[in-house]
Structure 1
Amino acid sequence: MKFSTKVIHAGQEPDPTTGAVMTPIYQTSTYAQTGLGEHKGYEYARTGNPTRTALEACVAALENGQYGLAFASGLAAEHAILNLLRAGDHLIACDDLYGGTYRLFERVMGRYGVSASYVTASNLVEYEKAIRPNTRLIWLETPTNPLLNLVDIQAVARLAHQHGLLLVVDNTFASPYFQNPLDLGADIVLHSTTKYINGHSDVIGGVVVTSNQEVYEELKFHQNAVGAVPGPFDVWLTLRGIKTLAVRMKQHEENAISVARFLDEHARVERVYYPGLPSHPDHALAKRQMRGFGGMVSFQLKGTRADVDNVLRRLKVFTLAESLGGVESLVCHPATMTHGSIPQEIREARGVVDTLLRLSVGIEDIHDLLFDLEQALA
C-alpha cells in the first residue's frame, strides 16, 4: 500500500466481532480468560489493548518497520529507549535538540550513571571522535529542534554500526510522510504522536518503531514493566487524526515554504531556518534524504527580547503556545518555552537566543498567515 492508503487502513481492519469499520475504543482494564493460560491475545490493558495495537501497527507500517510500541507521551517513549542502557553507559546526541530530551539525559538518566556527549548535528567527524569504549547509542533529531539542522542519517548509521552502536532518530519534525529513518539505516525511530501524527492538539502520546526483534522485545518489556502507556481514548483520537496525515502534511509544507520565503525577504528578520530554502546549508541533504521539507520554520528577529514580545502580542492567527504539528499555526519562543530547561549559556552557545522564534505553520489559508506575520512585524 502507498502512504495515503496506509494511514487509513494499516493495522485497522474492521472489527472481527461487529464489523465496525472504525477501530472501537476498547475501554477496559482486563480481559476474560477461559482457563489457565487461555485467552484471546489480551490479558491486562497495561500489557496490551486492541485499540493500541491498531495504532502501533499503523505507525510501524508508515515507518516501514516491523514493530511499533505506543506510550503515554513522547518523553515516555524516549525513556523506554534509554532503559536499554545500563549504569556506566554513554550516549552521543546532536547538540541542537528538544529541551525536554536534554533534561531527560542530564537530570534523570545522569542520576543513574548514564552520561551524554553533544556534537554538532551535521559534523560526522565529531560523532566519531565522541565515541568511547562505553558508548552504546547515538541519538539524532533531523530536522533538529529548533534550528532545523539536518543530519546525514545514512552516514551516521554506517558509523554507528561499525562500532556496534544503536542509532536512534527522533522523526517528529519530519513525520513519516517526509522521512523514514529505518530505510536509511536507523535502528529505532520515535515520534511524539502529540504532534503531526495526531495533528489536532488534543492528545499527548508517543511511539517507538523498530525492525530489530531483540530491541523490540526489550522495549516491550519496559513498556509493560514501567507502564507509561496511553489510554484507549487517547489512542483512538490519535488513530482518528492519523487518517488525514498525508493531506495535512502536504498543506503544512506548502504553507511553510511560503512563510519561509516571506520571512527571508523581510527587513526585520535577521535569519530564517528552513531546509526548503536553497540558502539553507543542508538544503541538498534535505532533497536527498527527505521527500519534502516539512511545516516547521524558525527565524531570528532583528532587535531585542522586548521587540520579540511586541511581535508576539500582535499576532492574531498564530497562537503563542508550546507544541507543534497541529492544524492550527503556533509560534513558540524556544528560549523560555521548549528549551528553557537548558542552561542559558549552553542554550545561547547553540544558537537558541532570545530573538529566536519557532513557527509551526498550520493549514489555514496562506494569505491570512502572511498577513498576520506582516502586520505583527510592521
Structure 2
Amino acid sequence: MTTTMRNRWTRRSLTAQAMGEIDPVTKGVVPPLHLSTTYVRDEDNGYSSGFVYGRPDNQTTREAEAVLAMLEDAEAGALLFASGSAAATAVFLALSPGDHVVASRVMYWALRNWLATEGARWGLAVEFVESDDLAALARAVRPGATKLVWIETPSNPLWTITDIAAAADIAHRAGARLAVDSTCASPVHTRPLALGADIVMHSATKVLNGHSDVIAGALCAREDDAFWNAVKTVRKGQGGILGPFESYLLMRGMRTLHVRQERQSASALALAERLAAHPLVARALYPGLPQHPGHDLAARQMENGFGYMLSIQVRGGEAAAIGTAAHVELFKRATSLGGVESLIEHRASIEGPGSPCPVDLLRLSTGLEDVDDLFADLDRALRAGHA
C-alpha cells in the first residue's frame, strides 16, 4: 500500500489490515512470519536486504512496529521489546548516571520498584510525585537537572488522570523530556505524542495484544533524535527485541484493537455506573464517571471512551475485598489486564509494603463477556464476601 493510499484511510481501517501489506510471494492477506536469525551477505560483502542478524532486527517485528507507529502518530517510529518492563527500563538506561528523574507516585508497581532500587544503583536521582497535581509536578522538576518526566495516565490502579499537554509544557520548559505510560488508555483512547509527549510506552502484553498470550513492550517516539538513538542502542546491546513469533501474534491482536476497545470500554463504564450505586461498594474509581475528580480532563484528553480498567473500594475493608475476589466465578483472579477475559485482583496484597493502593481496593479488567453476566458475578461475590 502506497503512502498516498494510507493517507486516505482511518487508523481503524489500517490497523484491521495490518497496514494493508500483501505477501509478494503468495499474495496472502496475512503477513508471513519471518523466523530467520541470520542473513546471507551479497557478493560484495554487503547486506542489500538491510538485515544482518536477528538480535537487533527482524522483518515481522518491523511490520508490527509500523502498525503501532501509525496508531500513535510516531514520526520517529516504534520499538518492540521482550516485555513492558524491558521497554520502560530502556528509556531510563538511555539516561546518564546522576540525571534527575520525576515519576508518578501511582504507576505500574514493578517499574516503580525498579526505579527505587535498580534505578538508584544506576545512579539516577528519582523523585516520585502525584503527577495529576500539576503544581507538585512543577515543583519537583529541576531546570537543567531533570532529564525525564515519566507519567502514567490513567494511573494504575487508582485511575487518576494527568494532563499530558500541561505535563509536557512543564518538562520542556525545564529542558526535560516527557514519557507517558499509556498502557491503560491505548492509542484508541489517548495519543500522548499528539498532546506534546516525547515518548509513549505500552505494556503490549495487555490490550494491544488482547489475548493474554504474548509478553511484549513498546516505545514510540515523536522525534528521531540522539536520545531515541540511545534507546535503540540499549535494545540492541541488551538483546531486548521482541521475537518474531511474538511480534506476529501481537500484530494479529492489534488488528482487532478498535473493536475490542470499544466493547470493553462500554462494558467498563456500565459496570462502573452500576457498582457506584451498589450498597456494598464504598467507591467506584473510573474516569468515565462524572463524579471522578479527573472526569472533565479525561473527557477532553481521551476519545472513544474512557478505557477498560476500573477499581472498586469494598465496604468492610480488606477482608471483605479479599472475600469478594474469592467468590467470583466469571471474573478470573489473576494479574495482568487488557485481555478478552475479565480479571480481578486485590492489588495491595500483590504490591506489598509501601504500596499506595488502599487495602479495600479490587482492580477490575473488563473483557468481552456479557456485561450483565459480569455485574451479576460481582454482585453475588460482594454479597458472599460480606457473609
RMSD: 1.2
Residue correspondence of structure 1 range 14-25 to structure 2 within 5 A: 14-25=22-33
1:171-209 deviation line (CA, Å, top 9, x unaligned): 100000000000000000010100000000011000100
**Which consecutive unaligned segments of at least 5 residues does structure 2 have?**
1-8
**Which consecutive unaligned segments of at least 5 residues does structure 1 have?**
none
Question: Do 1:12 and 1:54's aligned partners in 2 also have CA atoms closer than 8 Å?
Answer: no
Please give the secondary structure, in 1, of the residue aligned with 2:218.
strand
Please give the secondary structure, in 1, of the residue aligned with 2:347.
coil
Residue correspondence of structure 1 range 189-228 to structure 2 within 5 A: 189-214=200-225, 215-228=227-240
Q: Distance in 2 between matches of 1:296 and 1:323?
A: 11
After TM superposition, give the deviation of residue 324 of structure 1 in Å: 0.0
| Seq. identity, % | 40
Name the structure 1 match of 2:40: 32
Q: Distance in 1 between matches of 2:214 and 2:247?
A: 9
After TM superposition, give the deviation of residue 19 of structure 1 in Å: 2.5
| Corresponding letter in the other structure for 1:134 | A
Name the structure 1 match of 2:250: 238
Match of 1:48 among 26, 49, 57: 57
Structure 1 runs of 4+ with >3 Å offset:
9-12
Name the structure 2 match of 1:101: 111
The alignment status of 1:268 with 2:277, answered yes or no, reads no
After TM superposition, give the deviation of residue 94 of structure 1 in Å: 1.4
Match of 2:16 among 8, 24, 38: 8
Q: Distance in 2 between matches of 1:193 and 1:22?
A: 20
Residue correspondence of structure 1 range 282-297 to structure 2 within 5 A: 282-291=294-303, 292-297=305-310
| Corresponding letter in the other structure for 2:152 | E
> Judging changes above 3 Å, is the alpha-carbon distance between structure 1 residues 45 and 12 closer, same or farther for their aligned structure 2 residues?
farther
Question: Do 1:88 and 1:113's aligned partners in 2 also have CA atoms closer than 8 Å?
Answer: yes
The alignment status of 1:320 with 2:320, answered yes or no, reads no
After TM superposition, give the deviation of residue 284 of structure 1 in Å: 0.3
After TM superposition, give the deviation of residue 11 of structure 1 in Å: 4.4
After TM superposition, give the deviation of residue 120 of structure 1 in Å: 1.2
| Corresponding letter in the other structure for 2:372 | H
Name the structure 1 match of 2:125: 115
Q: Distance in 2 between matches of 1:286 and 1:203?
A: 29
Q: Distance in 2 between matches of 1:297 and 1:60?
A: 27
1:97-118 deviation line (CA, Å, top 9, x unaligned): 1111111101111111112111
1:208-232 deviation line (CA, Å, top 9, x unaligned): 0012111332222221111111111
After TM superposition, give the deviation of residue 10 of structure 1 in Å: 4.7
> Judging changes above 3 Å, is the alpha-carbon distance between structure 1 residues 300 and 369 closer, same or farther for their aligned structure 2 residues?
same
* Comparing 127-136 and 44-53, the one that deviates more: 127-136
Question: Do 1:175 and 1:196's aligned partners in 2 also have CA atoms closer than 8 Å?
Answer: yes
After TM superposition, give the deviation of residue 119 of structure 1 in Å: 1.1
Please give the secondary structure, in 2, of the residue aligned with 1:335.
helix
1:16-44 deviation line (CA, Å, top 9, x unaligned): 33322211111111111113123311111
Q: Distance in 2 between matches of 1:227 and 1:49?
A: 12
| Corresponding letter in the other structure for 1:46 | R
Please give the secondary structure, in 1, of the residue aligned with 2:242.
coil
The alignment status of 1:76 with 2:81, answered yes or no, reads no
Aligned pair count? Answer: 370
Name the structure 1 match of 2:5: none
Name the structure 2 match of 1:145: 156
Residue correspondence of structure 1 range 358-373 to structure 2 within 5 A: 358-373=363-378
| Corresponding letter in the other structure for 2:68 | V
Please give the secondary structure, in 1, of the residue aligned with 2:338.
coil
TM-score (norm 2): 0.93
1:315-374 deviation line (CA, Å, top 9, x unaligned): 00110100000010000111122x33xxx2x32xx3x12211100011111111011011
| Corresponding letter in the other structure for 1:159 | I
Please give the secondary structure, in 2, of the residue aligned with 1:336.
helix
Q: Distance in 2 between matches of 1:18 and 1:89?
A: 51
After TM superposition, give the deviation of residue 241 of structure 1 in Å: 0.7
TM-score (norm 1): 0.95
After TM superposition, give the deviation of residue 12 of structure 1 in Å: 5.2
